[in-house]
Amino acid sequence: ARPVRPARPSGPSRVAVALLAASLLLAGCVGPKEQTTPSAGTGPTDGPTVDPDGGLDAFYGQTVTWSECGEGFECATIAAPLDWDDPSAGAIDLALERAPARDAEARLGSLLVNPGGPGASGIEFLSSAVSYVIGDPVLDAYDVVGFDPRGVGQSSAVECGPDEVVDEFLTTDFPLASQADVEAARERLADFAAVCLEETGPLLGEVDTISAARDMDLIRAVLGDEQLSYLGFSYGTFLGATYAGLYPENVGRLVLDGALDPSMSNDDLVIGQAEGFENALRAYVEDCQRGADCPLEGTVEAGMAQVADLVARAEVDPIPAGDAEVNGTLASYGIVVTLYDDGSWPYLTWALDEALTQGTAVTLHDLANIYLDRTSDGRYTSNSMIAFQAINCLDYPMVERDYEDLVTFTKEVETVAPTFGQRFGMAIGCETWPFPPTGVRQEIHAPGAAPILVIGTTGDPATPYEWSVRLAEQLESAELLTYHGEGHTAYGRGGDCVRDVVETYLLTGELPDGGASC
């Protein structure tokens, strides 16, 4: 089966999931989202001209030109080196959008935001961030700047052919039950990657996180900020920590919410996320069964088994969903997306009740579409899923297992995640991707950096709390804020306590000595 792992974090989940689910409720379907290609009149579509032969000085010396692109927002495009190790190799575009500081006299500078992924669009996230996440005092003091990292969205982006090609790769059930199945899966990945390489070109080999962190320093400099202030969620914490490791002297105020441990291996990530989602599903089932209308009967273990059986049955016999159908992969996506935020649990109850009692999966299909950034008619509204693949294949050392080794590893995953273990463990990775991985998994200490705030949520399914603890321990200047709750990330969804700590830090640079707990 097409794996769910590693799960695709995408910023504060109340924004990324609950608001989209609410639109599903109101409209009866998943409506089209803003396209990743700007239409006429929404901002510049041609990037600035930078002579790569001028080296890095030419890139750092460019001037950014802003234009209005919606009420209260301004857009721009800057140039970055295609290859940071060889600036003469050419340039790519980085797309920016900002909400200018509301109080010019109180302005502290720019605050870059990244919603995670990897592959999520900071531009698409910006309007939600300023409306639902970031508090007024911070909006008064900072130009909040969303950017699409290299390979993503409106920046020079990874492309992998028409939606039908992407859809087959992302959503088809391909069970791995033999070595022949494993070889077939590797061949499918190679075929898909060949399309990506043809459509994207050499950029496909340059979308690693280190390059994206170097882009952030370029953005900092072009915006005129001596130090980088940054708000990163989920994968955005890895991007921010990478930046701190590369440029500790340029660190301003960094908030890293829902952290990844940069020293983790791919296996550690898979096992940790599988266990995280298992625990989140268990918390959901317990909550569901305390209510009167829960479709999951019996004990908590029986309820967990009903969810697992539903996915297994969908893989063998897809569930009707209006004009579509839901297979095992889509069922898994539809379940997982609601576990990012406990505010989305009612939608999971609705979807399970529909599937278990009515034998239809319209809601589960719509929830899967939210996860995929896909409309009800199969059109992808962003390139987030394929950018996710491309970035991770460069960032994590390759793991290659034959069928028997996969079975052994899956059994290890199932010891901590019996419901999700099969889908997280029984999957190929990047064995036949056209570019070898360049990332090195190691601790990041960033000696000499200014104080950094790391936030961990105790019930976080996608970035388990222990990862935030470990990142805070690694970064020499970090303090940890612990949010006791369910769901992915905390700022914007963890109440006044979390908000007060984050915004005091962003406005004054002060952190609670020894950390804090909310």
pLDDT at 54: 80
Kindly report the backbone phi and psi dihedral angles of residue 91, in degrees, each rounded to the nearest multiple of 5, phi listed first.
-125, 155
Catalytic residue among 155, 225, 468, 488: 488
Do residues 67 and 41 touch, judged by C-beta distance below 8 A?
no
Q: Tokens representing 333? A: 């996506």
The one-digit pLDDT tens for each residue of the chain (518 residues) are 333 444 454 555 535 444 443 444 443 433 323 322 222 223 333 456 777 778 899 999 999 999 999 899 999 999 999 999 999 999 999 999 999 999 999 999 999 999 999 999 999 999 999 999 999 999 999 999 999 999 999 999 999 999 999 999 999 999 999 999 999 999 999 999 999 999 999 999 999 999 999 999 999 999 999 999 999 999 999 999 999 999 999 999 999 999 999 999 999 999 999 999 999 999 999 999 999 899 999 999 999 999 999 999 999 999 999 999 999 999 999 999 999 999 999 999 999 999 999 999 999 999 999 999 999 888 999 999 999 999 999 999 888 999 999 999 999 999 999 999 999 999 988 999 999 999 999 999 999 999 999 999 999 999 999 999 999 999 999 999 999 999 999 999 999 999 999 999 999 999 998 989 99
Catalytic annotation on 460? yes
User: Of 203, 243, 248, which Cα lies nearest the Cα of 390?
Assistant: 203
Catalytic residue among 110, 156, 234, 382: 234
Place of tokens 């996969």: 406
pLDDT at 16: 45
Q: What angle do CA 94, 238, 20 make, to 5 degrees?
A: 70
Q: Tokens representing 410? A: 């899956």
pTM of the complete model beyond 0.85: yes
Q: Tokens representing 421? A: 């273990």
Cα–Cα distance measured from residue 90 to residue 58, given in angstroms and rounded to the nearest whole number: 12
Catalytic residue among 148, 257, 342, 460: 460
Residue 35 CB partners (closer than 8 Å, separation 6+): 381
Cα–Cα distance measured from residue 190 to residue 194, given in angstroms and rounded to the nearest whole number: 6
Cα–Cα distance measured from residue 206 to residue 90, given in angstroms and rounded to the nearest whole number: 12
In the chain, the amino acid numbered 51 is D
Is the dihedral angle over the CA atoms 289, 291, 296, 298 positive or is it negative?
positive
Catalytic annotation on 488? yes
Pairing relationship of beta strands 91-99 and 74-81 according to DSSP bridges: antiparallel
Cα–Cα distance measured from residue 332 to residue 361, given in angstroms and rounded to the nearest whole number: 12
